[in-house]
Amino acid sequence: MKVILASTAGFCFGVDRAVKLADECAGNAATLGPIIHNSTVTHELEERGVRIAQGVDELRPGETAIICSHGAPRAVHEELKRRGIEYVDATCPYVKRIHDTVAKESAQGRQVVIIGQAQHTEVKGIAGWCESPPLVFENAEEFSKWLDEAPENRSKALSVVSQTTLDISVWEQIVNFLKNQCTNAKKFDTICKATILRQREAAQIAAGSDAMVIAGDKRSANTRRLYELCRRYCENVFLVENAAGLGEFGDFSTVGVTAGASTPRRIIMEVCKKMSDEILNVTGEDVNTAAEPAVENAEPAAPVAAEADKVIEPAAVSEDATFAEMLEQTFKTLNNGDKVKGVVTGISGTEVQVDLGTKHAGYIPLAELGDDQEFISSLKVGDEIEASVIRVNDVEGTAMLSKRRLDSAKGWEDVEAAVESHETMEGYITEENKGGVVASVKGVRVFIPASQTGVPRGGSLSGLVKTKVRLKITEVNRARRRVVGSISAVTREERKAKAEQVWNEIEEGKIYEGVVKSMTNYGVFVDIGGVDGMVHISELSWQRVRHPQDVVSVGDTVTVHVLSFDREKKKISLGLRTAEDNPWTKFVAGYNIGDVITAKVVKLMTFGAFAEIIPGVDGLIHISQIADHRIGKPGDVLSEGQEVQCKITNVDYDKQKVWLSIRALLEADAADGSAQDDEPAEEDTGDGIVASSEAGVLTISKDIADVEE
């Protein structure tokens, strides 16, 4: 008789993690419900001081609470925090991902649909993370019936997830309904990848076997599904909780063995040992080696999919060795694709030595450590590290390992999930190539087109190399090993969120730190956090500005304040100049009517000249006040840039205008400081402006100050 043992039999990643976390808390802890659905494991944990509590109210003072691998509703987490109870979250990461998905989808107002057993702990936990009550269907028939109940059900905004251990065939039926009948549905493939591989492998082995033995607790949902699945392909299927439940085994040519995700490895070994002992007692033959059919779509380096079948066969030991010893050694043998965990014992310029706790000495070439430079630089002797076996040398007793391949195997699952969930991921830019850059995201090569890097068209991409970036996964084709990402998608999403915040909080006078994004002849546009506002050229400076580039440059960080805004038109008017820097304020504080000052001529006009008193404040010297005699034009006496002595003769504080006079000083000097008592003389400026002066004070019948330069 030939015995074929499935390589995926036994603890999955999530179960193994949960049991280890519970074991670390042994002494004074309690799990909220069974840590996993296996009475043998829960009994052993109880003996080590980890009891089962059915709810938060059953916890004892000082006990550490442990949330089981199936997860718990949000309310349980909140209650533990409210009471200040220390707790460990042993929820399977794959289940936790579903929690995050339904929380996000329901928060957006979508109807969450869960395909699974309504009374199962995992499904109850998932439902507890929804904003509104979800719909739960155990199979495709129930879902189809609900669709038929009302026509509007087919057009509802549905977000569909499944229990991680759901039968693949059930999910495929659900997906078919969603594609053909639902117009506004989103599906999330949340069946655990280990479950998919386990079911495929079990079906393949069952199809080629005379009998199948399923080892596991009868309360375990995934164990029962394995049993039901195998019955479709094999007539003789036995579900046993341990070796004692096997009884006397029949006479079969080929027997397949698999186990649920919550079945400990030693129980599988005991079942295999009992079967093999009976074979040896009856026939005196060893367990034969079976063929190794590959698991469809399995990644060679994936922790659970290294081989489709692992055959129990005699090890190369002494003839009097017991079968148990041979079996034990078989389980410790390293195979290509196995996931292993070890401790770093040495680091050299070419490799990292790892103690695996087996007869093989493990080592990781530096090229196989991956692209995460922060991890590599921080790695030290004594650190625990996970890797995948890529080559075993039994002669030399060595095993070449690769962290890169293990990361890639894990990363593919995360990358595929990120397409559905639109999750933002971190990557490390490793190279620039034609058309874009390549990033390493959890060990997976992701191509980012130049148009999606955020670098302006024609700009250099080399600055991105060897930097960490945040990106969205936009396309995954695992068959072609092609993954495409976008940095710009993250930028757009963040910009949109910032823009919403700006519009929610904006008010006149509010100050922002912004970046100059672009420039025109009439002003500049400043990004104040997802929204662009315009600073008109007149608001750039209190001084005269010929062009915005005289004050700022594109890329400058500036402090601006809101002058006005229009939410409907999405327009914001900003100011760069501040009241504290207002030169008029400085003028009013330092100058008075009658003061004699030195001013610089800045512009000549037909009706007079403008002179700068201080930067930002000019005064008008009317043509009649330039000299003590009639002149043809201001340029006959003055020139731009010339400094002149003049007198402040008038100030309009409301309109912020100043009038100056050179003539007043000349006449004062001519009269030797005596007062002028003559009647004011009227003068036609030639522009329809009639002006008269008395004691150097200019009276204008047409407001010259309103004339534009």
Residues identified as active-site: 122
DSSP strand pairing (2-6 vs 254-259) = parallel
Say which residues have a Cβ less than 8 Å from residue 507's Cβ, sequence separation at least 6.
562
CB-count exposure of residue 367 (10 Å: 0-12, 13-18, 19+): exposed
In our burial notation (b when 16+ CB lie closer than 10 A, e otherwise), range 152-165 reads ebbebebbbbbbbb
Angle, CA of 65, 69 and 72, to the nearest 5°: 65
In our burial notation (b when 16+ CB lie closer than 10 A, e otherwise), range 642-681 reads eebebbbbbbeeeeebbbbbbbbbbbbeeeeeeeeeeeee
SS3 label, residue 694: strand
DSSP strand pairing (29-32 vs 50-53) = parallel
Q: How many other CB atoms sit within 10 Å of the CB of residue 606?
A: 12
DSSP strand pairing (608-614 vs 444-449) = unpaired
Sheet holding 697-700, edge to edge: 681-684, 690-694, 697-700
- Assigned token pair, 76: 């349980």
Number of C-alpha atoms within 13 angstroms, CB side, residue 529? 15
**Cβ proximity of 530 and 502 under 8 Å:** yes
Q: Which residue do the tokens 């609470």 mark?
A: 65
Q: What residues are paired with 558 via a beta bridge?
A: 514
**Cβ proximity of 452 and 489 under 8 Å:** yes
Q: What residues are paired with 683 via a beta bridge?
A: 691
Which regions of 25-92 does DSSP assign to beta strands (E)?
Answer: 29-32, 50-53, 64-67, 87-89
